[in-house]
Chain A
């Protein structure tokens, strides 16, 4: 059965940081089970959610991600016993920080997806993709990356032109 791909004006880029033992296997299961989920998600595999440094999330946004998903084993199921417990605390703090500096937390999703939960993976990815699609592109970080600091603003036509030449 082939589902007709719907055309959208905006296809968000979603970066998913997943642990190799649970969520990666869950996503794999979704694939081998031929479940359909948005192709917007780019999966990056880590040994454990405990290995996912908050700076990776920041970097993903800076490099143009419109949404970020972090997913790993359910509490108690960590291959390294407590990696996801540590991650849970770290991300609880980090999302508060991002919120405080003005990042809309609707672009950032955390989830527990086990190796058996191909269906949940599809659900999580679809929901995040559609939510971010409705929100539109993540402009803030992109604009920041474009901004220069020439000891002040680019406020003359000459400077603007010089800048455009770059």
Chain B
């Protein structure tokens, strides 16, 4: 029995964001708006950048609007104009990423016009985008969402999303893995990582992977084998998880886009859990100039050091 999730507010939300985008573009408050538009397939959506007020009617919000649009504002995406103020449609999880990017001095709040989304959840996968949003098809990140209503936006439609209490899958899966022996965990991850084809979709959709040149693209010295073999894959995913530790905002885009269905966000959630326990850090909606691994306290635990 699958329970549907109420997404009836999404049509009103769509109208509201269209109206707001139309207004800010025609008033010249922003030079562009990054949002979602419908695509050819039934129920599908894709990111769109609009510059004309007339195009605001193209904007939508549906359960297939899965992307974290923050990636388009990072320096990895040179195509989007970085001059002037830019409007962006954000779900709560995406806003956490923007906040993280502000903390890392990649973005300035005053250059953004945030159009928030009251969000009841989005689909886990858009391979078949016309699926109904149910307790089964909802993204795992939405099951543990604490920002259905993003705060601090310049505009937020007034609708209230229904937010049923759902079982937290990441926490349960992490707990399951933690009770295994190291050898069992190694086997689990080896199997998962050996599927990797090094398409780097996980890296390219990540708002925090904005390095001009990724460590894993370098070959002098070559720290990580680029070949999609078990050894290089293992190293790549460990390096990726480490580089995102304390930075990942939990949008789970890496996991959604993986064509080989590797549960990548498990690593990110595990690191988030550890950093919370160790350094009381959690990705949130307040700008922190220093992430947990960019700062220290003299009182940090060192029981593991001899």
Contacts and interface: CB of A to CB of B under 8 A. Distances in A.
Direct contact between A and B judged by beta carbons closer than 8 A: yes
B267 to A, nearest CB: 7
B245 A92 contact: no
A163 interface: no
Contacts of A100: 177-178, 185, 267, 270
Given A93-B275, A97-B271, A144-B190, A110 B224 contact: no
Dominant secondary structure at the A interface: helix
B271 A96 contact: yes
Contact of B186 (A76, A90, A102, A148): A102
B302 A101 contact: no
A85 B300 contact: yes
A72 B90 CA distance: 44
Q: What is the size category of the interface that chain B forms with chain A?
A: 35 or more
Dominant secondary structure at the B interface: helix
A31 interface: no
A145 interface: yes
B274 A96 contact: yes
Interface string B277-305: 01100000000000011111110111011
Interface in A125-156: 140-141, 144-145, 147-149
Given A85-B296, A97-B271, A92 B188 contact: no
A124 B306 contact: yes
B289 to A, nearest CB: 15
Interface string B18-61: 00000000000000000000000000000000000000000000
A62 B300 contact: no
B305 A147 contact: no
Contacts of A124: 306
A146 to B, nearest CB: 8
A4 B145 CA distance: 64
Best-buried of B182, B228, B271, B279 by chain A (most CB within 10 Å): B182
Nearest to A127: B306
Contacts of A62: 231, 235
Contact of B302 (A54, A88, A140): A88
Given A90-B293, A93-B246, A100-B177, A149 B189 contact: no
B77 interface: no
B186 A85 contact: no
Best-buried of A54, A55, A109, A124 by chain B (most CB within 10 Å): A55
A149 B228 contact: yes
B73 to A, nearest CB: 27
A32 B224 CA distance: 37
Contacts of B274: 93, 96-97
B126 interface: no
A104 interface: yes
B239 A147 contact: no
Nearest to B274: A96
A101 B177 CA distance: 9
A51 interface: no
B301 A103 contact: no
A66 to B, nearest CB: 15
A59 B182 contact: no
Interface in B58-111: none
B223 A55 contact: yes
Contact of B183 (A99, A102, A141, A149): A102
Interface string B233-250: 011001101100110000
Interface of B: 177-178, 182-190, 194, 215, 223-224, 228-231, 234-235, 238-239, 241-242, 245-246, 267, 270-271, 274-275, 278-279, 292-298, 300-302, 304-306
Lowest 6 A-B CB distances belong to which pairs?
A: A102-B186, A102-B185, A85-B296, A111-B306, A96-B274, A110-B305
Interface of A: 53-55, 58-59, 62, 75-76, 82, 85-86, 88-104, 109-112, 124, 140-141, 144-145, 147-149
